[in-house]
Structure 1
Amino acid sequence: MLRTSVIVCTYNGDLYLEEQLNSLIIQESSPDEIIIVDDCSTDNSWDLICCFEKLNPEFNIRIFRNEDNLGYIKNFSLAANLATHELVFFCDQDDVWSSDKICKVVQKFSEDSKLTCLHTNAYVVGENLEDLGKDLFAMLKISRHELKLMDVGRYFEVLLRRNVVTGATMVIRRDILSRVLPIPTGWIHDEWIPMVSCLIGRVSYEKTRLISYRIHRNNTIGLNGGGRKLIFFTRRQLIREFYSFKASKLIGLQQRNIASDAERNYLDAFISHLHFRVLVSELPYRKKVIPIFNKVLDGSYSRFSRGWLSALRDFLFL
């Protein structure tokens, strides 16, 4: 049976941390190790972590406290490198795991030796774990078209457009860590790791809700944070900055030379489309019509963005 490491990264999370940690030790299939890395919390998080370790000696709990604040991306990278077992479960400090999460995820990986990264659905709950009436996939607005692409192994096309993987639900094989770490500047861990994983192995999802994903005002990133909000641009400068930044990130991925020929061709075309959208944003209205219309006709807007909606947006924004 595959052995499991759970990595928990904490920073000023004492309000919800105890509930999360307790959900890890009541799993139907116990984790083989729990690694907790605190990023210089100034609240009671570290005291709770020390108490948790002391009260549960039957579990292999390893705790660490950073000397300097690293930020959540570097902290997750550090924690992942500390993991010693085959499957690495990423765990946020403010959620609650369903008791069957580990056993169901282990089963998925056991059935598919090529699976390198898995993410799952989740209950979306409020501060007091009250059901908010939608699951995580619905809140992320993952479309039927995206699910179809994901089902047939075309994750790369989905992830280039936008990230649909939530780090709090992500599990990876430890043997890919050398290929995905360190996280490059500008990328989020749950954005970069699945992107590379689908190029060197296989990414999949589990539609079962295996955690309660808590929405609260202090979310670092997520549905209530900066990482999952749909961005509406109202100024040319913002448009240029966003698409230029995304293109520069993808050029960095391109330079890793890990994509197959087909994936490389798609990536090259995707970057070209981003550059086109930057250039067209600088044109006056009357000069935008023909180039945008031509890109609609050749299918670029459908292949690399949201079709007519994206084309209309590129035409209308000031």
Structure 2
Amino acid sequence: MSATEATGTPPEGGVPDNPRPRVSVALATHNGERFIGDQITSILQQSRPVDEIVLSDDASSDRTIEIVEQALSDHRAARGVAPELVVLRNDPPLRVTANFQQALERSTGDLVALSDQDDVWHTDRIEQLSAAFADPAILLVFSNARQIDATGADLGHDLFTALGLSPAERSRVESGRAFDQLLRRNVATGATVMLRRSLVDLAAPFPDAWLHDEWLAIVAAALDGVALCEAELTDYRQHDDNQVGMQRMTLRRKLRMFAQPRTDRNRRLYLRAQSLATRIGSIPAVSGAYRAAAGEKFLFEEARQRYPESRVLRAVPILQQVVRGRYERYGTGLKDAVRNLIQPV
């Protein structure tokens, strides 16, 4: 069951001379008292104030909600105004993707910024990201971030470096070919994302096989509506309790991936491709070329599912997929083929 509470100061009547988009924050939490104070403070200190915070909490047993409510109360007392706060309490918990979907669907802003419970926003995050939506074609924008540890110390590299974002991957997004890129792999991290509220209605319900940010990004890309912001606008915290994090892709981590069993990964990729191929056709504005590409992506993942257990017997079907160019168009290239060849079942 979910209980709903709404508090805050509603906007005054009348239409401003220069109306600007209403901005909501979709904040998903679960036992986040360790860092939520820093996060909510950074949200309240934005140079472009947010209008609404929708907090969807997954059965927290700590002071997460209390800390957020107190921070808004203190902010209102000090400044005379605060964002509206909507609190959604989930018991049993919905888990990450459904929790974010609930927060997004309850948001009333024209634009919605996604928020994890353990990061810190730079003061100009909302101002910079909202500027991208001056282009009416843009549905979702994501940015770079500074990687920090549990204490807030700089890890010495940014999020794009941790992702291993290549010049070719960056170029695809920046040149309007984000859909081509996201068929290969996701590069839009939810903690850095802002989107139009209208995108949520197009994307819902979010498929079980996808994380919320990955699904929203590829739906936006299917409508040629994704933009990349190079600025580091978030301190993206990496710690031992991350539900979804992004550690730097070192050589050691890359090599370890080759030793991981392939069964679970291939199954997950297959289910994601199946969802995409099925759902993409229900969005009228998606081009026939993108629908066909989603279908080809599914055929590629279906072929991966059928690879024999024997590495020797796997070699021929993997080579066939390489020759057809599917690893290049729908995977991460030759290294993905080698990974499929040598991984244990």
Q: TM-score, normalised by structure 2?
A: 0.84
Residues 1:277 and 1:18: Cα distance change in structure 2 (over 3 Å):
same
Alpha-carbon RMSD across the aligned residues, in angstroms, is: 2.1
SS of the aligned residue for 1:13 comes to coil
2:295 corresponds to which letter in structure 1?
D
Identify which of 232, 239, 242 aligns with 2:257: 232
Residues 1:183 and 1:296: Cα distance change in structure 2 (over 3 Å):
closer
- Other-structure match for 1:297: 323
SS of the aligned residue for 2:306 comes to helix
Structure 1 distance, partners of 2:119, 2:268, is 31
- Other-structure match for 2:15: none
- Other-structure match for 2:66: 47
Verify the 8 A CA contact 2:142 2:189 in the aligned structure 1. Answer: yes
CA shift for structure 1 position 185:
1.3
Residues 1:87 and 1:156: Cα distance change in structure 2 (over 3 Å):
same
Structure 1 distance, partners of 2:165, 2:291, is 25
- Other-structure match for 2:95: 71
Identify which of 174, 186, 189 aligns with 1:166: 189
CA shift for structure 1 position 284:
5.0
- Any unmatched runs of 5+ in structure 2? 1-19
SS of the aligned residue for 1:255 comes to helix
- Other-structure match for 2:291: 264
Residues 1:123 and 1:20: Cα distance change in structure 2 (over 3 Å):
same
Identify which of 113, 127, 152 aligns with 1:89: 113
1:101 corresponds to which letter in structure 2?
R
Residues 1:163 and 1:33: Cα distance change in structure 2 (over 3 Å):
same
CA shift for structure 1 position 175:
1.4
Identify which of 144, 151, 154 aligns with 1:121: 144
Structure 2 distance, partners of 1:243, 1:289, is 16
2:170 counterpart of 1:151: no
CA shift for structure 1 position 204:
1.2
Structure 1 distance, partners of 2:33, 2:115, is 15
Identify which of 215, 224, 227 aligns with 1:204: 227
2:292 corresponds to which letter in structure 1?
N
Residues 1:61 and 1:242: Cα distance change in structure 2 (over 3 Å):
same
SS of the aligned residue for 1:209 comes to strand
CA shift for structure 1 position 242:
2.5
CA shift for structure 1 position 136:
0.5
Residues 1:288 and 1:18: Cα distance change in structure 2 (over 3 Å):
closer
SS of the aligned residue for 1:177 comes to helix
Structure 2 distance, partners of 1:80, 1:314, is 36
State the Cα deviation string for residues 177-214 of structure 1 (Å, max 9, x = none): 21112211121101111111111341111010001111
2:35 counterpart of 1:8: no
CA shift for structure 1 position 234:
4.1
1:41 corresponds to which letter in structure 2?
S
CA shift for structure 1 position 221:
0.7
Verify the 8 A CA contact 1:40 1:65 in the aligned structure 2. Answer: no
Structure 2 distance, partners of 1:139, 1:76, is 24
Residues 1:289 and 1:167: Cα distance change in structure 2 (over 3 Å):
closer
CA shift for structure 1 position 121:
0.5
Q: TM-score, normalised by structure 1?
A: 0.90
Verify the 8 A CA contact 2:188 2:213 in the aligned structure 1. Answer: yes
1:272 corresponds to which letter in structure 2?
L
Matched-pair identity in %: 30
State the Cα deviation string for residues 155-177 of structure 1 (Å, max 9, x = none): 11221222111111111101122
State the Cα deviation string for residues 91-122 of structure 1 (Å, max 9, x = none): 11111111111111111111x11000111100
SS of the aligned residue for 1:14 comes to coil
Residues 1:29 and 1:273: Cα distance change in structure 2 (over 3 Å):
same
Residues 1:288 and 1:15: Cα distance change in structure 2 (over 3 Å):
closer
Structure 2 distance, partners of 1:310, 1:217, is 28
